[in-house]
Amino acid sequence: EAVGDAMTVLLMMEAYLKDKDMTIQMADQVYMDFSSRMLKIVVKDRDVFKTHEEDETILLQPEGLQSLIEAEFKDLPSSRAFARPSGTEDAVRIYAEGPTKEKADELAKKIYDIIAREYT
């Protein structure tokens, strides 16, 4: 499943290569592609979920939820995850990334379950 804005990634990669005086072939030798998983969970009220105004990957409210999410991936190498409220519906979007599809799926499901226990 592809996630992101391809043009932004292309331009950022071009700037990075120029800054590091690297060729695309050199970058290909060190680049590692990770699997990702996106889920949506319907919640009672999306307005309960507040993210940092400058970084929507940081959940400020409900208090403590960000710590629970981080606890799920802090010991997993090459993994990350975040949850943010939908801008259009009473739902929360979950993004998880891991070294394999299975690990990304497992991480996303754990975060889904955490949110489901309290907010659906």
Structural domain that includes position 14: 1-31
Enter the pTM of the model.
0.78
Average pLDDT, the chain: 92
CATH number of the structural domain spanning residue 57: 3.30.310.50
Number of domains in the chain: 2
Alpha-carbon distances, residue 50 vs 1, 56, 62, 91, 101 (angstroms)? 26, 9, 7, 12, 28
pLDDT grade, residue 1 (50/70/90)? very low
Let me know whether 9 and 25 are in one domain. Answer: yes
Let me know whether 42 and 94 are in one domain. Answer: yes
Let me know whether 16 and 49 are in one domain. Answer: no
Residue 77 has pLDDT above 60, yes or no: yes
Biggest distance spanned by C-alpha atoms of the chain? 50
Give 1 or 29, the one with higher predicted confidence. Answer: 29
Residue 32 has pLDDT above 90, yes or no: no
Given the DSSP bridges, would you call strands 35-42 and 50-52 parallel, antiparallel or unpaired? unpaired
Let me know whether 42 and 88 are in one domain. Answer: yes
8 Å CB contact between 27 and 13: yes
Share of the chain above pLDDT 70, in %: 97
pLDDT grade, residue 2 (50/70/90)? low
Let me know whether 59 and 105 are in one domain. Answer: yes
